[in-house]
Amino acid sequence: MSLQTCRWFNPTINLAVYLNQADLPVVDGVSLHHLFEELNVECRVIGWRRRPPAKLATWGCVLFQLDVLEHLSQTERGPCLFLDLDTVWRRSVTSLWEAVEQYGLVTYDLETETDDDYSGLSPRAIAEIAQRYRPSFHDDRVLFAGGEFLAATPAALRNVAVGIAELWPSVCADMAHGIPTFSREDHFLSAVYALTGDANNIGNHFIRRIWTGYSYFNARIDDSDLMIWHLPSEKRFGFRNMFRDIQRGRVPAVNTDRYLSYLGRTMGVSRRRTTKLLRDCATAPGIPMNLVKRQLRSMVPFRRRRG
């Protein structure tokens, strides 16, 4: 959905998907190879060089992003955006390119408190590990950057790539010896941005990681001001439903209020309607029923019994 909605709003920009193998699946009878051709999306197959040397408790494949950013730094000659695919676009990229031109690097701050553990490390813990690799770094915390988003000029992107290349050998060695280090792309990149002095929260004007699941929900009214919604919980629900709606011609035209309303209903932002709940149940019947019942109870007004 990220590529499709991006193309709707940005018909002339270059789009590329990075893979470490060339095979593309068929989804719901739709060939992704043919779909990418229709959307004019380039498939770039590169080697996965920065593989974890040992099995990790987290998904080691997320570190493939480090190779992707390095490749982008070598190939792009204009403003560039790295973006996860579990996202949808709500307007054109123009204002983001203006921010990139002004600031050089635009990162996304998850607004994590200094000692709050996020996927195994806190901003303070990331800073302490970074100090191990660069003793001259004295900050007591880092800005915890989301790995799903990075916008940059070619020069800023090359600076990030240099930071990745400098940090990786030490991180890889510590992984091999079981020494606590950065095993996720967001931990690693938060350290890189901190060490290069480029971390910022400018990206928060454009994107937010919005949780719309049945166990955790944090969508809010002002999400309607964002350019991009990052919706990890909708991989099983909203994205499936929207993909099918596109194939059936049921998605309203972009740049209309009807499209924005459709997107909100389908993804559950800024609130989850009963219609979405029912459609989610039909899409993925394996939803734990106790969560569904809890959601239904929250929608029914409480009435005190008489007598």
Q: What's the pLDDT score for residue 58?
A: 67
Q: What's the pLDDT score for residue 306?
A: 44
Which two tokens mark 235? Answer: 């991989």
Q: pLDDT tens digits for 159-200?
A: 999 999 999 999 999 999 999 999 999 999 999 999 999 999
pLDDT > 90? residue 292: no
pLDDT > 60? residue 302: no
Taking CA atoms, 158 is separated from 20, 70, 220, 238, in Å, by: 21, 8, 35, 36
Side-chain-side CA neighbours of 208 within 13 Å: the count stands at 17
Give Cβ neighbours of residue 166 (< 8 Å, ≥ 6 apart).
none
Asked whether 238 and 266 are in contact (CB, 8 A), the reply is yes
CA dihedral of 279, 280, 285, 289, whole degrees rounded to 10:
-110
pLDDT tier, 295 (very low <50, low <70, confident <90, very high otherwise): low
Q: Per-domain residue ranges for the chain?
A: 52-205, 221-299
Q: What's the pLDDT score for residue 304?
A: 45
Q: pLDDT tens digits for 238-278?
A: 999 999 999 999 999 998 999 999 999 999 999 989 889 88
Which two tokens mark 218? Answer: 């944090």
